[in-house]
Structure 1
């Protein structure tokens, strides 16, 4: 079944692209962090993820919704989660690892790692405890008063919790907006307005269309890689040139697929497709 894509006008704050676009407004993003963390943040900036990871591909394999630093060199990663994919704990671990790899150059002292927060804003209650905020830090299981002190935290926001009031009126208004889409204070009105600004922006429209085209090409490429895997596993003898003609794709890319398949005979079709997505410049 062909995947259905939304038009820009149909996006809401719960869509990854819209959330990232709205959070590119520095003041809105800073206020969101302040409401969640209950602390004042003087200023933030948006650094790029540029480091190359020795163990796997390039940093473009890191896909983060919003990646921010403040002037105290604290790192924040904010992710929107509209659907429950049953992998939130492991996903949070993965994002933390990717952030640390991006911060630390090879050979640098581990004390150079910055304080970090990985924040998930969910459209569901992942732990079904009816809490609006789940805050996790590493502690000793034999002595709960003893923290590991690795300066990292993972925070999960659930607007459907019952305890929004204890975090203040502004936080409660934000939870209400996330649930209903109806603003009730200045900040949520600003969020609603910014969504409209993004929808009316030609610049954001061009960026969204570029990402959609890339996403469609990635899906087509993944299907192609799986098809080549099936052909090779069935030991059907086609040359790269013949497969290129049959599958309507360039010979050089088909050759790279065959090389990866031969190099990793025990890998699944999905593993091969994922690796090739980062090796081939689509």
Structure 2
């Protein structure tokens, strides 16, 4: 079986590539100054990539992993995120990231609220948020009754829409950033030359490609695990509902008979309709993802045998691979 797929190009908006390119201190500062020309950014400290914020004492709270977190010499804090999928929650995601940044980084113990650092949450979106949206949208906390009354809370949220409409007020750096997000060539800017060269180096390096492929596959597996957990919860819910229905019937027919009927109804409801179907969907997704990442048929089959060999024979897995 011959793999006819070309090796994919991992561009600026791929998580690992984005982190590697934006962790270049000079390039990161150049981008920030282009996005925020109203600021005079003297210099920045070295950026942190994939900065994880969690709270072990509150394990039920959602953790976040910030793509790029950086502070300038005036102690303004910047969180730069890349978003390639429209999950329809950008605004609330920005709110949560800002809250997490405040929780961990912006106010030291013993300081007053006057010492709270300014925070800039910047989302680079490679999808079109809405029709006729500009390339750059800047959001502040304002008085809804007076648009000129800005609450000076130190929080600024910015969305860069690579598919947005130019207003004519964008800096050259911002327009180049949009080109980079679209994998378009850029000339005449030494900082973007560095970024483009680094992206080429990453795509030419088999170790980097393998690392990115493994990272993307793990993300896919995490998504599949979430789907399976949802299925299990559905099965449990079906069993409980079935037991309740059966036990209600059991008042007349006998509690034991009702429990047996309830369990049977729940199992049939939760498993027959979805279990095998979910596995087949997971197999198809994994095959397509691995092909897109440049995996050959032998590598893909080995991965399928590892993940699904307990449920399907090698011949069945080969058939799925051939049909995909």
Q: TM-score, normalised by structure 1?
A: 0.68
Task: Indicate the residue corresponding to 2:129 in structure 1.
Answer: 126
Q: Deviations over 1:117-175 (max 9, x none)?
A: 01111224424334221111101122323221110100111234443542333333333
Indicate the residue corresponding to 1:25 in structure 2. Answer: 24
Does the C-alpha gap of structure 1 residues 31 and 164 become closer, same or farther in structure 2, counting only changes over 3 Å? farther
- 2:98 equivalent in structure 1: 96
**Residues 221 and 160 (structure 1 numbering): CA distance in 2 closer, same or farther, change over 3 Å?**
closer
Tell me if the contact between 1:8 and 1:199 (Cα under 8 Å) persists in the aligned partners.
no
Of the candidates 168, 192, 195, which is equivalent to residue 191 of structure 1? 195
Q: Between 148-157 and 92-101, report the one with greater CA deviation.
A: 92-101
Map 1:2-21 to 2 at 5 A. 10-21=9-20
1:34 aligned counterpart, secondary structure: helix
TM-score (norm 2): 0.60
Structural mapping, 1:254-265, within 5 Å: none
In the TM superposition, residue 90 of structure 1 has moved relative to its aligned partner by: 1.7
| Residues 83, 125 of structure 2: 8 Å contact kept | yes
Partner of 1:277: none
- The CA distance in 1 between the partners of 2:235 and 2:213, in whole Å, is 33
**Contact kept in structure 1, 2:42 and 2:72, CA below 8 Å:** yes
Tell which structure's C-alpha radius of gyration is larger: 2
Post-superposition shift, 1:220? 4.5
Q: Which residue of 136, 140, 144 maps to 2:143?
A: 140
Give unmatched runs, 5+ long, in structure 1.
1-5, 238-246, 248-282
Q: Which residue of 2 aligns with 1:149?
A: 152
Which residue is equivalent to 2:45? 44
Shift in Å at residue 45 of structure 1? 2.4
Closer, same or farther: CA 9–24 of 1 in aligned 2, 3 Å: farther
Aligned residues: 233
RMSD across aligned positions (CA) = 3.3
Specify every segment of 5 or more residues in structure 2 that has no aligned partner in the other structure, as ranges.
241-262, 265-274, 276-324
Match of 2:79 among 77, 85, 91: 77
- Residue 228 of structure 1 corresponds to 232
